[in-house]
Amino acid sequence: MFLPRRFLSVSLLSVLVMVCLVGIERSLFGVRYFSERMPRVEPYNLWHAWVALSLSLAAIQGFTRDASWLGAPMLRAASRRELSICIATLVLAAAAALLFSVDAVTFSALAREDNIFEWLSALLIFASSVFFALVATGQLRAARGEAGRDAWLATGAATSFSLVFFVVGMEEISWMQRVFGLATPDALLGLNKQQELNLHNISTGFSELLYYTGSFVLLTLMPFIWLYLRKGFALGRLEAFVPSVLVLAASAPMAAFNSDNWSMLPTQMMVMMTVIILLVIADLALRGGLWREFVLLTATAILIVAIQELFVLQAHDLVRIWDPTEYKELFIAVGLAIYGYETWSRLRSSAPVGEVRIGRRPMAG
């Protein structure tokens, strides 16, 4: 049985470190650790970031050592379409950062409620929900036929994803409250920080942390882990639900758009682990002679570092300290939409799930 002991040990250590940091900041600085605040570049903050970097490096190195007995990971070359998608998200991230640096007011305006990015994020998440609903319908038909238990499990997984993403999309637009002019119920007025018809603003900081952490695990960590484990495990139809490296690369810019929540250990570790993961996969591409993939992954890692540095050092220029998170949620939505599409595409194909390829030619690890 595969047990990532080193990775789990670092994860437990990270939780213990965060508990200590909560106590330190409350007792020494009198601040709530999980709260919106301006990022600072001071000795304590630099030490905090160093701790996050150390834990992130230990976690990724620990996992790769845990999985080393399975052999070198099987990275696959990207098609032109996949490269184009990743380049498009990279350009969009760079354009958003450039916009902030030259016109913070417009950057903020685009991040406002009912503006283009909020609606685009919601539509992309709804698209993912629809794709999973289609998967659930197809797998239900297969389960009622001769596919058996495997198809029933796939039906349950697809239904769960479809429902979760539908709720997330509706929360994004406050259940269409402003579209239909719905009043916020009295029970929510005193609880919701923005007095909107949604649940995530009852405890905004915790809800955001939960959503961003879940997105990181699904869109970044899972593809990376499966890259190492796929040769040693067979999941049947459920393998179609594991996001590909395409999803990881296309949604990776989500890691860079932090300001109000930068001071938290989970946020810093998600940024740093994303960069490390990209560089690890870039190294696999380099050793396999896939130069386009190497350049793209390396450029994405460098851009994430540059954009995050921009929002830390120039945070005082933000119109609203949380504006970058609206752009983060757009890249999360892009990743979810691609994930929904590729899962539907895999399961509607006549080829066995295990034979579905992300690219066109194999690459040696």
CA distance 177 to 183: 7
Torsion of CA 236, 242, 247, 251, to 10 degrees: 170
Lowest mean pLDDT among 3-12, 43-52, 309-318: 3-12
Question: How far apart (Å, rounded) are the C-alpha atoms in residues 212 and 80?
Answer: 29
- Per-residue pLDDT at 70 exceeds 50: yes
The C-alpha angle 197, 115, 202, rounded to 5 degrees, equals: 25
- In three-state form (DSSP H/G/I as H, E/B as E, the rest C), the secondary structure along 154-181 is HHHHHHHHHHHHHHHHHHHCHHHHHHHC
- Choose among 351, 268, 333, 250: nearest CA to 305: 268
Q: Is the pLDDT of residue 123 over 90?
A: yes
Distance (Å, whole) CA 287 – CA 365: 7
Which pair of tokens denotes residue 9?
């040990």
State the Cα–Cα distance between residues 261 and 159, nearest whole angstrom.
32
Quote the pTM value: 0.90
The pLDDT, as a whole number, for residue 230 is: 87
Q: What percent of the chain has pLDDT over 70?
A: 86
Lowest mean pLDDT among 185-194, 255-264, 270-279: 185-194
Residues 208 and 257 sit within 8 Å (Cβ to Cβ): no
Give the max Cα distance, the chain: 64
Res. 234 pLDDT band, cuts 50 70 90 = confident
67 to each of 11, 70, 84, 115, 229, how far by Cα in Å? 16, 6, 31, 44, 7
